[in-house]
Amino acid sequence: MKYYVKLSGNICHYQFADIKDIQVNDIEFGEMDYFELEEQFLLDNCDLENERMIIDDNIKFEVFNEDDKKILEFSYHDIEQNDEGSIYFSTEPQYNDEYQNCLGSLNFLKGEGPVFEIETDKKITFEDFSYSVTGLELDDGDVTLMEDFYLNNKKLESCDHGTSWGSYRLVKIWKKSGEIFEFSH
């Protein structure tokens, strides 16, 4: 039988790029607006980009059968965290040797997330599911995101994505000096 697991809640689309001191100066002194910054450093040019569900009390997992009837609903509290594949990323160059200065754009969204398709003859229970995490270590706190989703310890691939809308965008430069520049747009 075929099932679909639909996720909804808070979502984070993140992009990070390594930039040079001279580029930081250009941004700080207003020689570049957000659209120029995005085009030069982020669109198809960033080092790390992804969109993940935020692990918080708003994340919801719903399982539907082939007839689109909901058969199961649960939260991340109900399922186990799988440490396999967990990733942590520090934005601050003094803790991340790969970055001279880290330009980060985090777009926080709400709505529907990834959809996963499952085929099984077994009855599905929430105990069959687990997830791994990505941690974004920011200067003002960590953001914990769902990296991968598993059924019986087998990684699932998303087959679709629902609709989401923006609620908040954060653009910062974490400098190698330890200073932080927040870009207002």
Tokens read off for 58: 């708003």
Percent of the chain at pLDDT > 70 equals: 99
pLDDT higher than threshold 70 for residue 164: yes
Burial level of 81, CB count in 10 A (0-12/13-18/19+)?
Answer: middle
Residue 84 pLDDT level (bands cut at 50, 70, 90): confident
Contact in structure between 134 and 24 (CB atoms under 8 Å): no
pLDDT higher than threshold 80 for residue 87: yes
Contact in structure between 53 and 85 (CB atoms under 8 Å): no
Which pLDDT score, from 0 to 100, does residue 185 have? 65
Residue 157 pLDDT level (bands cut at 50, 70, 90): very high
Cα distance between residue 59 and residue 41, in whole Å: 31
Q: What is the pLDDT of residues 8-62, one digit of tens each?
A: 999 999 999 999 999 999 898 888 888 898 899 998 889 999 999 999 988 999 9
CA angle, 144 then 147 then 151, to 5°: 125
Q: How many CA atoms, within 13 angstroms, populate the side-chain half-sphere of residue 121?
A: 0
pLDDT higher than threshold 70 for residue 175: yes
Fill in the amino acid letter for 25. Answer: N
Biggest alpha carbon–alpha carbon distance for the chain: 61
